[in-house]
Amino acid sequence: MTEDRAREIARESAREAIDGYTVEAQTIAAERIARFDGILIDGLARQGLLGAMADPAFQVALRKAQIGAASTERDNDYDILAALIEDRAKRADDRPVRAGINRAIEIVDQMDSQALRGLTVYAAAAQYSPLNGDVDEGLGAMDRMLEQLSEGLELPSGRAWIEHLDVLGAVRQDSIQSFKKLADYWTEKTPGYLSVGLPAGAEEGTAAIAELRDVHRISVAPVPHTFKPGYERLPFTGSNGFRSLLVGAGKSDAEAEAAAAVASSAYKLDERDDSLVPAYRERLCTLPTLNQIAGWWDEFAVFFSVTPVGSVVARANSKRLDKAGFLPPIE
């Protein structure tokens, strides 16, 4: 489909949406929808997704989004609505995602800006995990990613913002469960940072490094343990991170599994030394955005989980904020 034809379809759909308003409201509605349509068509064209405009179900979602655009004066909402429709075009075969997007379109104009920020930052912090085996490099990358999503602004506090998102269907509260502290939660995903490790120069470690080199043809060296003076660890976030690096370097799954077993047996890659968690949290809190988020996360007033609706809204908002396309999409 050509871009001109896509714009024509959008205008036809907009006329139907605008006809539902009184004469007094039509001018404002038309202006707002035109701004949204411009953002959407440009985005679909860049990604080669204009063909979705021919799908009747897509046109229904488009009309809903145009009605949503007409109902809001916030420029950011047009970007979020456009990102939702683009996501709808990309994942059209996933019915649960489609259902979430259809509902999300209806609530964008009702969502408080600070609650949206909280939802997006929480969803990202819960999903993202450091990939770099170096503690400072890994946490530094997390700080930079989450800074984009927090926008350097205040995060919502108390319970009202969670209740607001619950009313909209973006989260579900649960008074029975409780959140783990952020440092505990993250180190469960990166146990290698706090692994038991080995005393520096231990024979067991030397033998393991030699076996990895001579038998598995893998060159790796231990590094000083950031949180355990006099000890060494391997520079990976855990055995899963080690395996992923090996597979990415061309090793088969079986080869990667065998090598990870050797490394884990000696250096206890997945065995977290719980006594090191406080030191890890101190390190995390030396970074401004992570310090802000850790303090915020640890004081959540009630447990909640993000719904499929909340997930697609957070994904769309992160896309709006990530102009360079650097951040992983929120799932």
pLDDT in tens, 94-118: 889 999 999 999 999 999 999 999 9
114-164 pLDDT per residue, tens: 999 999 999 999 999 999 999 999 999 999 999 999 998 999 999 999 999
CA-CA distance, 300 to 244, in Å (whole number)?
A: 33
Residues whose CB falls within 8 Å of the CB of residue 189, separated by 6 or more in sequence, listed in order: 129, 237, 238
Give the per-residue pLDDT at 76: 95
CB atoms within 10 A of CB 261: 13
10-32 pLDDT per residue, tens: 999 999 999 989 999 999 999 99
Buried/exposed code over 117-135 (b: 16+ C-beta within 10 A; e: otherwise): bbbbbbbbbbebbbbbbbb
C-beta separation of 300 from 293 below 8 A: no
CA of 278: how far to CAs of 36, 266, 282, 284, 290, in Å? 47, 25, 6, 10, 15
The closest of 140, 102, 144, 172 to 313, measured between CA atoms, is 102
C-beta separation of 241 from 133 below 8 A: yes
C-beta separation of 168 from 312 below 8 A: no
Give the per-residue pLDDT at 323: 81
The closest of 156, 174, 78, 150 to 321, measured between CA atoms, is 150
Give the chain's residues under pLDDT 50: none
C-beta separation of 262 from 216 below 8 A: yes
- Judged on CB neighbours under 10 Å (0-12, 13-18, 19+), 27 is exposed
CA-CA distance, 266 to 246, in Å (whole number)?
A: 18
CA-CA distance, 310 to 146, in Å (whole number)?
A: 18
Count how many residues are written for the chain: 331
- Judged on CB neighbours under 10 Å (0-12, 13-18, 19+), 285 is middle
C-beta separation of 65 from 109 below 8 A: no
Give the per-residue pLDDT at 2: 92
pTM of the model: 0.93
CB atoms within 10 A of CB 194: 26
Q: What does residue 229 show for φ and ψ, rounded to 5 degrees?
A: -55, 140
Buried/exposed code over 228-258 (b: 16+ C-beta within 10 A; e: otherwise): beebbbbbbbbbbbbbbbbeeeebeeebbee
One-letter amino acid at 323 equals: K
CB atoms within 10 A of CB 107: 17
- Judged on CB neighbours under 10 Å (0-12, 13-18, 19+), 142 is buried
